[in-house]
Structure 1
Amino acid sequence: MAKYFLFLWMSAAVMSILLDHTYGKECDGTKKCYDYQYCDQDSKKCFIKVCYVDEECEYSEYCDKSSRKCQKRECDKDDECYADESCNTSSRTCQDKECIEDYDCDSGQYCHTRLWKCQEKGSF
C-alpha cells in the first residue's frame, strides 16, 4: 500500500514539474499567467492556451496550426515590415527579401516582386 501512495505522490510531483508549477495557479487582475496561458475568469486559474483559429488569440497573435498555440504576430502583409523585408504569411514574421529589383538576381533571372525571390526567366 505504501508503494501505491509513493507512486501517486511521485506522479503528482512529475506532473507539477511538467506543468511548470503554474497550471491551475490562481490569477486575477493583479496576478497574471504566463504568456502561453490564459486566465479563466470563472475559476480564476491559469490554463495552457490552445487555439484552432486566429480569433481565439490576442489581437497581436495568431494561431500556429501545428502547435495549436497562440504565437506573437509580426506582420500580416509586406507594408508592416521594413522596406528590405517581406511578410511570410505562414509564420507571420518579417524576413529579408532575396531581391528588390532584377539587377539583384543572377543573369537569366528576374525578381518576382510578390515573392521577393529570384526566379528563372520564363518560369511564371
Structure 2
Amino acid sequence: PAPVTLPKQSGSDSPKYLGCFRDKGSDRALSIRIPGKMSLDKCISTCYSSGYKYAGRQYKGECYCGNSGYNKHGARNDCNACDSANVGAYKSCVYELPPAQQPISAPQQSGSDSPKYLGCFRDKGSDRALSI
C-alpha cells in the first residue's frame, strides 16, 4: 500500500495498513460514510481529523470511518491497489489511525465577564456544531 501522510503533529505516528477486508452494503463494517469520492490520503485525513480509529477506502473512492468492526465480514486478499481509482466493490483497504493529539488546556481566567473554556469537541464538516 501507498504511504499516507497525516497533518503534522508532535508525536504522531503514521497510519498502519491493516489489510483488505470484505464489506456488505446492508451492514457496513465501518459505519460512517464520508460523502463524495476521495483519494486515499483525503479519506485517511478526513477520518483522522474527525476522531475515528479506522479509515477504509473502497470501490471508486468511497470512504468509510469507524471505531470498530472493520473485520466483521472477514479478510480478503484481492483488493486492487488501495490508492487506485477502483479498489473493488465491497473490498475495503483499512488503515488504523494514530490517536489524536490531546487537547491543550486554555489558561484559566478570573472574573464573571471572562470567557470560560468548555473543552474540545468533535465537529463534522457536513453538520457544524457552531454555525457561525
Q: Scaled by the length of structure 1, what TM-score is found?
A: 0.22
Higher helix share: 1
Q: Scaled by the length of structure 2, what TM-score is found?
A: 0.21
